[in-house]
A = this chain, B = another copy of it.
Amino acid sequence: MKGICIVGYGYWGPKLVRNFLAVAAGRAVAVCDESAERLQRAQKDFPGLKTFASFDAVLADAAFDAVALATPVSTHYPLAKRALEAGRHVLVEKPMTDSLATARELIALAARERRVLMVDHTFVYHPAVRKIKALVAAGDLGQLRYIDSTRINLGLFQHDVNVLWDLAVHDLSIVNFLTPERPLAVSAVATAHTPGAPENIGFIVLRYASGLVVHLNCSWVSPVKIRHILIGGDKKMVLYNDLDANEPLKVYDSGYQARTDEERNRLLFDYRVGDVYSPKIPAGEALAALAADFVRATTDGVAPISDGRFGADVVAILEAAQRSVRQRGQEVLLG
């Protein structure tokens, strides 16, 4: 990679600029936005930063062989397509696109053009999520039985996507990262309390062949902010509280075992409530690790974790959830 242009300087763009500057190691970093006001802000935040007022201009500058798209979801597909066709590596905000068909088209295109296509699922690079992944992979939790996430707070309403595409997208990336298994089916319900606005409360349940069940509770209208993910295995269980700066992870040596009471011919359950352990999570910004992984991938050609396929798997579930919402919770099978 010679240089990267961050496209879109709204909420997320500045974070991308800062992190790519940190890992750029001499490579060029620029910003593109059609709003003059935003470009001014970018230059105030990062004096001397090169700016582009149009996407065409970015693609015309050979010094930038990579783009990061931090634009509204509906623009992800057309912009990424043009960038890939112009031979650029592409990092695109999550969700990757607004449909599985376009996500797949981009994957095929990137493969053809031999370019990196990566989705910015930042949580996958979060040290706490990495730690959980390590525990799961090492078999410490045993077989996964359930993942239950509550991701609620007040605001911010999005205009182009509903609460599931906005919030559940985080949980789905974490779930897909923690287990290689993909769900068989999804059931979802969502509600819009404001006519004309996207759904602001939504719930998703995923069913898996292994018996794993995943439940997601998303809301933009809760007076309290909660970011809890419970990961239950048949050996141990983990609580990931993203808002607890000191002890974000707690590993519970708790569980139960069923056994048959022969005499009375029924099941008995033995409970185990044991120690709690809160591993130290190494510091380090997830987005910096993601940016570094993108730069690396453009160099050595080995796909990053959250590549196009990873991003498309998330879109597939969101699209199916959307269909289930329209069918009032009826389960939708995933291909």
Contact = CB atoms under 8 A, between A and B. Distances in A.
Interface of A: 47-48, 145-146, 148, 150, 152, 154-157, 159, 185, 187, 189, 191, 193-194, 196-197, 201, 203, 205, 207, 211, 213, 215, 217, 219, 221-225, 230, 232, 234, 237, 239, 246-247, 252-256, 258, 266-267, 269, 271, 273-280, 324, 327-331
A223 B205 contact: no
Given A191-B211, A197-B258, A331-B328, A146 B224 contact: no
A219 B148 contact: yes
B273 A221 contact: no
A239 B201 CA distance: 17
A153 to B, nearest CB: 10
28 contacts: A146-B193, A146-B201, A146-B221, A148-B152, A148-B217, A148-B219, A154-B254, A155-B271, A156-B269, A156-B271, A185-B328, A187-B187, A187-B328, A189-B205, A196-B267, A197-B258, A201-B213, A203-B215, A222-B232, A223-B237, A223-B239, A253-B280, A275-B277, A276-B280, A329-B329, A329-B330, A330-B330, A330-B331
Contacts of A224: 230, 239, 246, 252
- Copies assembled: 4
A253 B277 CA distance: 11
A2 B224 CA distance: 45
A167 to B, nearest CB: 14
A256 B187 contact: no
